[in-house]
Amino acid sequence: MSVIEAKKSEEYREEIEAILAKYEGDGFALIEILHEAQELIGYLPKDVQKIVADNLNMAPTTVSSVISFYNYFSDTPKGEYQVALCKGTACYVKGAKEIIEKIEDRYGIASGETTEDGKLSLEVVRCLGACGLSPVMTVNGKAHGLLNPEKAVTIIDKYLNREMEEV
Ligand code: FES
């Protein structure tokens, strides 16, 4: 467990215990509990998983397999800027793959990862519902379309340099 994870869990311990208390050890409430814990912390660190597993009398591996089964859950911290790049059909045929490769190359992260400084995370997702603008990505929920590899990293750089508001 990383120092950051331990700190996060300590920071949120009381609130996690309050969430658990609401469900009174009901194992069927695992998804709801994980949902609330992730809403609180932003992701589900290993030792939070252990607190939940202990409370529900479950093996930690049961909890971690539920987390890996559902795309919604994450056991790694998200970056300050969260890029979701679409690899749905419309975006794929217009070059999403090259954009993903460019982002991976430039920032040294693959889908599901966060840069070491905690600034940027990347997720490759299915159709974002803006196929007319393909290829598309969102950064912290804001859509950017008609991308090519250069345009995508220029936009991301502007976020990282806090210049995006002026764009
Ligand atoms: S396929 Fe990318 S937005 Fe629909």
Looking from the CA of 111 toward its CB, the CA atoms found within 13 Å total 15
Q: Is the CB of 16 under 6 A from ligand 1?
A: no
Count how many residues are written for the chain.
167
Nearest to 159 by CA among 133, 144, 137, 139: 139
Which residue's alpha carbon is nearest to atom 1 within ligand 1?
88
CA dist list (Å): 151 to 29, 66, 96, 144: 44, 37, 12, 10
| Structure confidence at residue 8 as a pLDDT band (50, 70, 90) | low
CA dist 102 and 110 (Å) reads 10
| Structure confidence at residue 112 as a pLDDT band (50, 70, 90) | confident
> How many C-beta atoms lie closer than 10 Å to residue 137's C-beta?
28
pLDDT tens profile 31-72:
999 999 999 998 999 999 999 999 999 999 999 999 999 878
Structural contact between residues 104 and 122, judged by C-beta atoms closer than 8 angstroms = yes
On the question of pLDDT at 167 being above 70, the answer is no
> 132 C-alpha to center of ligand 1: Å?
8
pLDDT tens profile 75-107:
888 899 999 999 999 999 999 999 999 999 999
DSSP 8-state class, residue 29: G
pLDDT tens profile 17-42:
999 999 999 999 999 999 999 999 98
